[in-house]
Amino acid sequence: MPRVGASSFSFPEFRGATRRLVLVNLAAFFAILVAGLAAPEATNELLNYLLFRPDLFLHGQLWQPFTYSFIHLGMIGTLFELVSLWFMAGFLEQLHSESWVTGLYAASVVGTAIAALAIYAVSGTLGLSMAAPPLYGCFGGIFGILVAIGVLYGDMEFLLFFTIGIKARYLAVIYGLISIAMLFGQQRMYAFAQLGGALAGLLFIHFAPRRGISFVFSEKLYGLRNRYFRWKRRRAARKFEVYMRSQGRTVRFDGQGRQLDEDPDDKKRWN
């Protein structure tokens, strides 16, 4: 486990969940780039279905909170996002499991979309006119990861603009204050959505299990499977009791479907 504290600028190992997230986003960027050159009109039509637009989501395009984060339209912005994702997610992956990091990223991305939807719905209810620009990019997931680092490993130092050393907790506060200030400008929906990603990341680190949601889901799945097998065992035991009574013999089974011996010294049991 690496030391958590002041550190010089260096990228963590490119592996596991970090590598998958970066490569998937990078592949999506180049796929859109090539598609835009080959068929620009069809690509623009497709993007309307993949970007997150609150009005279209409310009209049935329920997949958008999961697809918008893979859409990257600018080269410089995409480079900054993916480098940040590599650095921050890679750092967390040295201290947590792959599933935990993936869950944190996914929760932050979805939380960003939920926040944008919430402010759009509230503004419509209050009769306020608010521009609803489409959301794209993984900025919300990165902000959620940054908040997680700031809360869990606040003394970790980053190099701001590659020159100024700053602790993770202060960096998260600065980004949060910038987003709050943007709420009073023209990009208030974008800023509110970004704060939603940060809140989702904060909730995830407080309530999600340390081994990740996928681990808990698999445990629940195995538990459900085992309960099904135990039910089949008890059912088979009841049928066997009925059959043995029809043969003039009596056998008994416990609540787990195991045979109860008449003779306590008899070691032969149904397992």
Asked if residue 142 lies in contact with residue 112, where contact means CB atoms within 8 angstroms, the answer is no
pLDDT for 217 beyond 70: no
- The stretch 164-178 carries a mean pLDDT of 86
The tens digit of pLDDT for each residue in 74-83 reads 889 899 999 9
Asked if residue 254 lies in contact with residue 234, where contact means CB atoms within 8 angstroms, the answer is no
In the prediction, which pLDDT does 210 show? 59
Which residues are within 8 A (CB) of 105 and not within 5 positions of it... i.e. 6 or more apart? 17, 21, 89, 138, 141, 144, 145
- The CA-based angle 218-152-140, given to 5 degrees, is 75
What are the φ/ψ torsions at residue 62 (nearest 5 degrees)?
-75, -10
Domain ranges of the chain: 16-211, 217-260
Which residue from 95, 125, 115, 110 is spatially nearest to 211, judged by alpha carbons?
Answer: 95
Query: The whole model's pTM is what?
Result: 0.72
pLDDT for 254 beyond 80: no
- Looking only at the bridges linking them, the beta strands covering 157-160 and 259-260 are unpaired
Highest mean pLDDT among 108-122, 126-140, 214-228: 108-122
CA distance 188 to 5: 34
Q: Which two tokens stand for residue 142?
A: 């990165």
In the prediction, which pLDDT does 195 show? 92
In the prediction, which pLDDT does 55 show? 86
Confidence of residue 238 (pLDDT cuts 50, 70, 90): confident
Q: Which two tokens stand for residue 230?
A: 């135990």
CA distance 29 to 23: 10
- The stretch 115-133 carries a mean pLDDT of 78
Q: Domain 16-211: which CATH class? A: mainly alpha
Q: What is the largest CA-CA distance in the chain?
A: 89
Block residue for tokens 């993936």: 102
Q: Is residue 7 classed exposed, middle or buried when 0-12, 13-18 and 19+ CB atoms within 10 A define those classes?
A: middle
What are the φ/ψ torsions at residue 29 (nearest 5 degrees)?
-60, -50
The tens digit of pLDDT for each residue in 150-169 reads 999 988 877 666 667 788 88
In the prediction, which pLDDT does 162 show? 61
pLDDT for 32 beyond 80: yes
In the prediction, which pLDDT does 209 show? 65
